[in-house]
A and B are shown apart, each in its own frame.
Chain A
Amino acid sequence: MLSKRIIACLDVRNGQVVKGINFEGLRSAGDPAELARRYNVEGIDELVILDITATIEARRALADTISRVARELFIPLAVGGGIRSEADAAAAVEAGADKVSLNTAALADPALITAVATRYGSQAVVVAIDAKRESAGSERFAVYARSGSTSAGRDAVEWAREAEARGAGEILLTSIDRDGTRAGFDCELTAAVSSAVSIPVIASGGAGGLDDFVDVFTAGRADAALAASIFHYAETSVRVLKQHLQQRHIPVRL
């Protein structure tokens, strides 16, 4: 049976992981390659490197980071953040990324999804959707661009369907309302999108405790769940999380 995937996200700036890291035994806490190695030993199913820098110099550092991680880890690696063109996507793939995550650029030019999918295959294209409830209690979710700062004027379910039709292989769905709150994933948002598309949906935003993952894989109908800080701070090890899920009869890779 297909396992539910647990994905760790590394936010990288100038080649260093920027969110707090609290692992014992790491020589350089901010080194993405070392952190990636640690997650791999714990049994992470996939990694996302999210670039949060803007300069050309930092872009070169990113390619070096991707290359160093990909040289020694043989699990899927996705790269996102600031991929604005087919050339940016190509640079990430050539460096060793298996998937590129498109967000703002895909909203501005949806044909970019098809261009990258045609060149590298749909399995290499993740469309990241940052969504927010239109109002408290609403069951409609609006899409935001530019790291959640600008309304894109799109409905999340409708945009996910369009992304799939244009060649996206997966949807990375982040709840802006829950991101950073540790109040649990937005299961209603996740279920709405997951039910609307055939491609896998990765839930993101709000992971706090072990049962949040149980909820998003059951009520939320997620195919995968992504978290950053709860793994970085080593509050929750990947292995303990997976054991918990297995006890709740959720298929995982242990």
Chain B
Amino acid sequence: MIALIDYRAGNLTSVKKALASIGAEVMVPSAPEELADAAGVIVPGVGHFGATKALEGAWTEAILARVGEGRPLLGICLGMQWLYEGSDEAPDVSGLGLISGRCYRISGDVKVPHVGWNSLAIQQKTSIVEGVVPGSQVYFTHSYVGPVNGDTIAVTEHGETFAAIVQRGHVAGVQFHPEKSGDVGLRILRNFIEMVA
């Protein structure tokens, strides 16, 4: 059973539908204690980094406890940014710090937010990108990005190059929306489900 965390940062309908379509069993815990039996955890989310403040305390402890037990964690969009140490968008709110560095606003002579389909340049072959063809396009909608570092699996360019996919062991994050990225997105979700199995 995969636990999908609802912290009121956007709507979960699309993520639930995409997971259902690939046969994943999903529950939405109403309290952190319900995470005890989760085989894997997904933190979705859109919007302002400050929304992750709702995860401070018991939720963070429960999620980190699962990660400590070796259960896979996937962060989507804002959920990926939360894997970093923090974000310039809400300097007072801490991230999980599982991926090093801080998120920052996209700069350069481009439109912000970055909305639409853009390509993945795969840097490292890991389980989360199994079967994903380099150059595949996925759907983004965000204004902040995570820095490229040793855990960066794929990068995308918009004004500058940023981390589109990160993975460190059984912790992974995607800046785009796999639930809105057609077959490529479903493949990445399936790769995560296989990490859980």
A interface residues with partner B (beta carbon < 8 Å)? 1-5, 40, 45, 70-72, 74-76, 93-96, 98, 120-124, 169-170, 198-200, 223-224, 253
Contacts and interface: CB of A to CB of B under 8 A. Distances in A.
B112 A72 contact: no
A76 B139 contact: yes
Interface string B2-23: 0000000111011001100100
B133 interface: no
Interface in B105-122: 110-119
B111 A124 contact: no
A3 B46 CA distance: 21
Interface stretch (B53-61, B163-171, B178-186): B178-186
If over half of A's interface residues share one DSSP class (helix, strand or loop), that class is named, otherwise mixed; here it is: loop
Contacts of B182: 40, 74-75
Contacts of B179: 74
B120 to A, nearest CB: 12
Given A95-B13, A169-B115, A169-B141, 16 more contacts: A3-B117, A40-B182, A70-B17, A74-B179, A74-B182, A76-B180, A93-B11, A96-B13, A121-B10, A121-B47, A123-B113, A123-B142, A198-B111, A200-B116, A223-B111, A253-B137
B157 interface: yes
Contacts, number: 91
Given A1-B157, A71-B17, A74-B185, A124 B116 contact: no
Contact of A120 (B11, B18, B142, B180): B11
Contact of B21 (A2, A72, A123, A253): A72
B11 A94 contact: yes
6 contacts: A3-B116, A40-B182, A45-B116, A76-B139, A98-B180, A123-B142
A120 B10 contact: yes
B180 to A, nearest CB: 5
Contacts of A98: 14, 180
A3 B112 contact: no
A5 B114 CA distance: 13
A216 to B, nearest CB: 15
B115 A123 contact: yes
